[in-house]
Amino acid sequence: MERNKYTAHLAVVASAVGLGLAVWAAAAVTQTEAEADAGNGRPAAVRSPDGGAGGPAQAPPKKMPESIAHAAEAGGGAVNITIDDGPDPRWTPPMLEILEEHGVKAVFCMVGPEAKRHPDLVRRVVAEGHRLCDHTVSHDTAMDGKSVAYQKRQILDAKRMIEDAAGGAKVEYYRAPGGAFTPDSRRIAAEAGMRPLGWNVDTKDFELPGTASIVNTVKTELSNGPTILFHDGGGDRAQTVAALRQVLPWLKGQGRTFSFPVRTAP
């Protein structure tokens, strides 16, 4: 009987020692992983209370002004080239080539599903130094008459699609389709870190008025302000490609420089 009690006691002690060793080993592994992360220049993994690993905590986006931006960051005689409705595999690449040829950076206002469909083009736009703009999911020019919940989905779902396609690059602006801004849509965009973006020169290239008409609109309406609107999606953009090839050297000949639209308040 005493022998049996002694044997049971030894089993309890062994179990306790084993549990202690397991706890010590788990702590040692966690410490080693954290040290390895730090040694590799990476932030140590953020671990949940149950031991799961997650990524570093993400800071909320900085709120932008809700007012609609038109001015150029560089000020002076700088102009902003903005290109809407893409990306499109037929028309975006030649526009990128023309911009590269003239050393000009632009803002590409992308429709969410098109960005999702063509992530290679989104990443090329980012890699070549241009900026991204949210142009909603459905390009609904009547969204200013829809519910706030609808507007929010249109804006934030498109933002996620574009940023996912871009591999994490941030969308910096929001442009309402057809200029259908509302106080709510501007607030939603600004709270998500996107400056509402307008335009001063509407080339009306989507109406296919002819290359000469597009170029002439830029020349005659540039006094309205610095932000010029072109399109690389939504239809045949051959006229826009040809016009952009003429407009950029003309602008340079007028002593104009190129900039991005403002994001923060002056």
Active site residue 135: no
Strand-pairing partners, residue 79, are 258
| CA–CA gap between residue 262 and residue 266 (Å, rounded) | 8
CA angle 77, 83, 84 (to 5 degrees): 140
**Strand pairing category for 79-84 and 258-259:** parallel
Q: How far is CA 234 from the centre of its chain?
A: 20
| CA–CA gap between residue 217 and residue 259 (Å, rounded) | 20
Catalytic member of 130, 139, 231, 232? 231
Give me the sign of the Cα torsion angle 220, 221, 226, 228: negative
Give me the sign of the Cα torsion angle 157, 161, 166, 167: positive
Catalytic member of 70, 84, 130, 205? 84
- The residue count of the chain comes to 266
Active site residue 139: no
| CA–CA gap between residue 229 and residue 202 (Å, rounded) | 5
Please give the backbone phi and psi of residue 126, each rounded to the nearest 5 degrees, phi first: -65, -45
List the catalytic residues: 84, 231
